[in-house]
Amino acid sequence: MCGILAVLGCSDDSQAKRVRVLELSRRLRHRGPDWSGIYQNGDNYLAHQRLAIIDPASGDQPLFNEDKTIVVTVNGEIYNHEELRKRLKNHKFHTGSDCDVIAHLYEEYGESFVDMLDGIFSFVLLDTRDNSFMVARDAVGVTSLYIGWGLDGSLWISSEMKGLHEDCEHFEAFPPGHLYSSKSRGFKQWYNPPWFNESVPSTPYEPLAIRRAFEDAVTKRLMSDVPFGVLLSGGLDSSLVASITARHLAGTKAAKRWGHQLHSFCVGLEGSPDLKAGKEVAEYLGTVHHEFHFTVQDGIDAIEDVIYHVETYDVTTIRASTPMFLMSRKIKSLGVKMVLSGEGSDEIFGGYLYFHKAPNKQEFHQETCRKIKALHKYDCLRANKATSAFGLEARVPFLDKEFINTAMSLDPESKMIKPEEGRIEKWVLRRAFDDEERPYLPKHILYRQKEQFSDGVGYSWIDGLKAHAAENVNDKMMSNAAHIFPHNTPLTKEAYYYRMIFERFFPQNSARLTVPGGATVACSTAKAVEWDASWSNNMDPSGRAAIGVHLSAYDGSNKALPSPPLKAIDDMPIMMGQGVVIQT
């Protein structure tokens, strides 16, 4: 992922202002350590920190049209850029960068071209002919982006909050699936698929349609001119991504240059579920597998860096970001610049354990819609910023626009969890890749129970965080929490500890407003907490907090379990609720 920064209409074209923009842009250099660029036109500044994935030799930014009247700074990957270039036969491109199409598409189609882009992106486009500009962010917010306003009437855009928070009177997260136009001085929603209104769809479940759509989503993301790999925890989502990548790698340009054997990466505490499962899947797929071990103390020592880079005080996000942050540094040290990851599947298919309690298909579907719409505040933010902290790019095929549309058009009855029928969470995805003739994965991996990333890296990780927080936050501090932090008041010592660190880095009110709040259990939205009255007594966001979900859904008899039985790898324990461990 690259880093972009733009200051537009600041009424100051002095050298001092240019130096300030360069200084702020350097705060984003971790996102793009390969090259820096800046463009100034009067009182408009566009800066860029590049992570070179496509055309490393000539794709430096900002990018221009033929006569350089249109200027673009962009963070993203446009997977259909070759197809779009064919539509632009009368245009001359300066680079082989996938993002080079943006300025030319604007020339041809105006602001309406954004929906033509198949990929992930955040960009600022300046049209010097009339001094107008537009800003856009991808459909669900895989790339991070913020917008701010200065007292001098300027508008600021930055990939991360740290690029603008000191110079803006107010700032906020740029909404996914929207564009901002200087011509209308406001936002316009460009991404508005049928599922967005949350009405219940009715398309019958067809396993092969899901399989084809996801294979397409993965293979288009193998576009790379640099070494890449896959994050592999051994769970369903990352294992499917790795399996499909391994099948299709041989035919890619990257394989011809870097070799046909896929590299996979896993992180965890010694003896954690993810390490064992990841190793087994890697052996099955024949990847070059890299295990990274960390200790609870390693994670605790990194917490301040994690909060600075990920820019949140959300408990779940910090718990999961820390192992990913540590692993990303190790991956980058091996010369890898891009990885594929499995975020998004649980939101689309209702994979979190609390979905067992969905009362009907309408509630189930509406909760998946709410979860996808909120991804940019949670898992997308984590995957983007925890990897970008070390100049590593994460691509997430489950959040492909076409795949989301296919999966979200399904009648949600097919996604409902029904143990009596052998249907566990994400059954429709598991069934789509349950191929007897040419298996994608071993059965027990294909039907492995969901582990949240922060749980799967080792159960003592969360317990260690809580213990550390308890040593640094006392009861007297908690008694005043509502007065110290009236917005999103921390309810636990762990949350209080993270909040103190966040406020030190980002003290502005606008900053604290960018972080979501509200009741949650096992990653649910506040609305879904209403599904079970007992959940209100256990608001821990960990997957282990879905008290009794599996105990009540699977009553202890094998007949209620899927075939093959839902279990962890070999003799690893399954967490069946808060503090209840079942040996399989």
Residues facing 293 on adjacent strands: 268
Tokens 């039907």 map to which residue? 447
Does the annotation flag 326 for ligand binding?
no
Indicate if 380 belongs to the active site: no
Q: What is the enclosing helix (H) or strand (E) of 513? A: helix 509-513
Contact 118, 88 (CB under 8 A): no
Sign of the alpha-carbon dihedral angle for 422, 427, 432, 436: negative
Burial group, residue 216, by CB count within 10 angstroms (0-12, 13-18, 19+): middle
Which amino acid, residue 224?
S
* Strand pairing class (132-137; 178-181): antiparallel
Contact 465, 494 (CB under 8 A): yes
Does the annotation flag 396 for ligand binding?
no
Does the annotation flag 267 for ligand binding?
yes
* Catalytic annotation, pick one of 2, 10, 168, 369: 2
Residues facing 267 on adjacent strands: 292
Query: With b meaning 16 or more CB within 10 Å and e meaning fewer, what string describes 242-276?
Result: bbbbbbebeebebbeebeeebbbbbbbbeebbbbb
Task: Identify the three-state secondary structure at position 252.
Answer: coil
Sign of the alpha-carbon dihedral angle for 92, 93, 98, 103: negative
Burial group, residue 438, by CB count within 10 angstroms (0-12, 13-18, 19+): exposed
Distance CA 84, CA 3 (A): 24
- What is the number of other CB atoms lying within 10 angstroms of the CB of residue 11? 11
Does the annotation flag 224 for ligand binding?
no
Which amino acid, residue 496?
Y
Distance CA 310, CA 314 (A): 10
What is the DSSP code (8-state) at residue 199?
P
Does the annotation flag 141 for ligand binding?
no
HSE-CB of 284 using CA atoms within 13 angstroms: 22
Tokens 């033929």 map to which residue? 66
Strands (E), 401-474: none
Which amino acid, residue 45?
Y
| Alpha-carbon dihedral 480, 483, 489, 490, rounded to 10 degrees | -20
Task: Provide the token pair at 429.
Answer: 């995805």
Distance CA 266, CA 442 (A): 18
HSE-CB of 168 using CA atoms within 13 angstroms: 28
Residue 150 Cα distances to 38, 147, 158, 473, angstroms? 20, 10, 13, 36
Contact 289, 233 (CB under 8 A): no
Distance CA 317, CA 251 (A): 36
Residues in the chain: 584
| 70-78 sheet: strands from edge to edge | 63-64, 70-78, 119-127, 132-137, 178-181, 186-189
Task: Provide the token pair at 433.
Answer: 């890749």
Catalytic residues: 2
Residues making up the annotated binding site are: 98, 231, 267, 341-342
